[in-house]
Chains A and B, each alone.
Chain A
Amino acid sequence: MAAGAAGASKTYSFKVVLLGEGCVGKTSLVLRYCENKFNDKHLTTLQASFLTKKLNIGGKRVNLAIWDTAGQERFHALGPIYYRDSNGAILVYDITDEDSFQKVKNWVKELRKMLGNEISLCIVGNKIDLDKDRHVSVQETEAYAESVGAKHYHTSAKQNKGIEELFLDLCKRMIESAQADERAKGNGSSQSATARRGVQIIDDEPQAQSSGGCCTSG
């Protein structure tokens, strides 16, 4: 439903949730992406929990809404309320913190269980500028990401590494899955919708009008 109505110049609207333990740098990541700022004391941004970004990917317009989620353990149970209807999820862990990667695994399990394969997952190892303190092995994480059908990225919000690629890639994947969705539905979606409401005269009639309108203009 987030893909919006059909049309040549359509704009995709995607909802992306940011998941991950506190202190893994979710906020820095998204602030770096949307504002290109890091730990800036003079930030004019009021908040970093809901940010939007407009993109143009190969002529397709994309409106990205990035939803930050509270990462504290006590709010874990609220996850489903946040990620309902989202098109993508970015699961962030800190490469110096083994536990944060365990949390990511939990999230992945939960997301796949609740939303199936409709959601595009990105697993992100943040803080690669602290590589000397790395506690999570690259091979392990990448193998894991592959096993659950997610993409793995390494980023550093501090050095602005890998973030642009991460979001661009995610958008492309979300567009693909939105298009696949449309193809699967075909014209069926609009017709089933009208058929459902066909009982009422009013909704039926304008439909006939619109087809006429097309002919006159074309």
Chain B
Amino acid sequence: MSLKSERRGIHVDQSDLLCKKGCGFYGNLAWQGFCSKCWREEYQKGRQKQIQEDRELAERLQREEEEAYASSQGAQGTQPSLTFSKFEEKKTNEKTRKVTTVKKFFSSSSRTVPKKENQEAKAPSPSINRQVSIETDRVSKEFIEFLKSYQKAGHDVFKQCKICLEAMQQKREASIEEQSEYVQDFYQNTAEKLQLRWKMPSEKVEDVMDQIEKFIMTRSYKHVFCPETTDDEKKDLAVQRRIRALHWVTFQMLCVPVNEDIPEVSDMVVKAITDIIEMDSKRVPRDKLACITRCSKHIFNAIKITKNEPASADDFLPTLIYIVLKANPPRLQSNIQYITRFCNPSRLMTGEDGYYFTNLCCAMAFIEKLDAQSLNLSQEEFDRYMSGQASPKKQNAENWPPDACLGVKQMYKNLDLLSQLNERQERIVHEARKLEKDLIDWTDGVTKEVQDIVEKYPLDIKPKSQPLAAIDSENVENDKLPPPLQPQVYAG
């Protein structure tokens, strides 16, 4: 409180604190500088004037909205103005009973320049909504319609939202964290105000906050979802590639307690996959969360049908991981980031939706870090599956469910045959190599054997003439022989 008045002191003169009528009592800003007594008198007089002013303001706002619709939509532009004028009418009626006027949200200390300030504050606003689409229009319409029931508070909320959108537009160049922080601050402020100032019960506050989130995020979605300033897109692609590379993961590996043979269960699985994929098509964080929640409920159903007992987190998380792997939801990382940045924090931190969202975050973290150990596989097997050299499905071909698609069955049968063929071919090549080697070995063996024999029995060719000559020359007993017969000449 003390801090507040200090801050006020900056732009309020000390004398201004006294009642403007000079009665000597202190005035109050809420009573536009009068003391309570003088204010009551003044109020009666000023009421008529204020009603007039309110009407002007309302008309201006209405014109502005009309312009927004007209410029974007043309043909459909007339409808919203009609509903909005009703809204304004109701509001002005309300004003006659209550003191505070809309103007004062723009200026508390001065009532002399409210119009100027109004215009200043509103001047840039027509430019915000220029690139509106049909959906944005519909959401705006619904938002205005919704706020009708909250009268004064509703009008205030609408104004604050417009201001927030303007600020968001100006912050478009800023980092996404800054924008996120701004929106989060805005949520927190608005919720606090609804509770403290408008004395709304907390359920209603939640209701209004949901609508605010819807309104603001539908309009800002284009600029804050997967913004260029971040590397969200790169991460999205990385996650997508990762999930694709893990296509071979079966529910047995993850110990998923779901039996897809039961038709109802496989039905639930398909629905869960559809839901998680649908998340990307939603614009509002809360709608995205609702997709996750629906997906989770289908998973719970699948588990319940299979196990016939309520699912615990031990069952739920593996199944969710399996569903995410099968679905490969588009832009998963961006969606998670977007929800984290722009969802109403109270919903995200404690609510049921928050729990399922947390599980999805866990699932993504698990998938990113998944390794052989987390699937109870050996590193070798894991590597083989990752590189696509083998498919674990092959082992399941035998116990393929009977109702599986015939083509798929045939395909696996063929795959089996092919792999058998491959094996045989490999064996043939192997045998052929062996044969070749054997042949070479045999040749070598024979050569070696021959050489061995040759070495063992060397082929000494002794000069044949010598022993012959010896017979002739060195015969020792030659002497003993009678002299060779001499030819004798006989006269004859």
Contacts and interface: CB of A to CB of B under 8 A. Distances in A.
A205 B105 contact: yes
A209 B197 contact: yes
A198 B7 contact: yes
Given A48-B310, A187-B1, A75 B355 contact: no
Q: Range of interface residues on chain B?
A: 35 or more
A191 B100 contact: no
A172 interface: no
B312 A48 contact: yes
A213 B340 CA distance: 35
B376 to A, nearest CB: 8
B192 interface: yes
B304 to A, nearest CB: 6
Contact of B352 (A50, A193, A200, A201): A50
Contact of B358 (A48, A81, A205): A81
B93 interface: no
A91 to B, nearest CB: 15
Contact of A211 (B30, B156, B195): B30
B192 A5 contact: yes
Interface stretch (B16-24, B207-215, B359-367, B400-408): B359-367
B362 A82 contact: yes
Contacts of B106: 201-202, 205
Q: Range of interface residues on chain A?
A: 35 or more
A15 B202 contact: no
A13 B350 contact: yes
Contacts of A212: 28-31
A197 B195 contact: no
Contacts, number: 159
A203 to B, nearest CB: 6
Nearest to B309: A43
A26 interface: yes
Contact of A46 (B195, B304, B365): B304
B410 interface: no
B105 A202 contact: yes
Contacts of B361: 81
Given A1-B349, A206-B105, A213-B197, A46 B369 contact: no
A90 to B, nearest CB: 13
B396 interface: no
Given A67-B355, A82-B362, A209-B105, A72 B349 contact: no
B312 A81 contact: no
Contacts of B77: none
B468 interface: no
B358 A82 contact: yes
Given A200-B167, A206-B105, A213-B30, A31 B310 contact: yes
A216 interface: yes
| Max chain B C-beta neighbours (<10 A), residue from A7, A45, A46, A49 | A49
B193 A206 contact: yes
Would you call the interface of chain B mostly helix, strand, loop, or mixed?
Answer: helix
Nearest to A85: B349
Given A198-B7, A216-B30, A47 B310 contact: yes
B247 interface: no
B196 A210 contact: yes
B104 interface: yes
B314 interface: yes
Interface string B359-394: 001100110010001100000000000000000000
Nearest to A40: B309
Given A50-B352, A70-B317, A211-B4, A197 B189 contact: yes
Contacts of B312: 26-27, 47-49, 68
A11 B201 CA distance: 11
Contacts of A213: 30, 100, 197
Contact of A206 (B8, B156, B202, B311): B156
A71 interface: yes
Interface in B323-379: 345-346, 349-352, 355-356, 358, 361-362, 365-366, 369, 373-374
B301 interface: yes
A77 interface: yes
Nearest to B185: A197
Contacts of B362: 70, 75, 78, 81-82
A179 interface: no
A72 B30 contact: no
Interface in B138-174: 156, 160, 163, 167
24 contacts: A1-B345, A4-B202, A13-B350, A39-B309, A41-B308, A46-B304, A46-B310, A50-B352, A65-B355, A71-B314, A72-B314, A74-B366, A77-B369, A78-B366, A81-B358, A81-B361, A82-B358, A191-B4, A200-B167, A201-B106, A202-B160, A208-B4, A208-B8, A211-B4
Closest 6 CB pairs of A and B: A212-B30, A68-B313, A27-B312, A70-B317, A50-B355, A210-B197
Given A70-B313, A81-B358, 14 more contacts: A15-B349, A26-B313, A47-B316, A48-B310, A49-B313, A65-B351, A68-B313, A70-B317, A78-B365, A193-B189, A197-B185, A210-B193, A211-B30, A213-B30
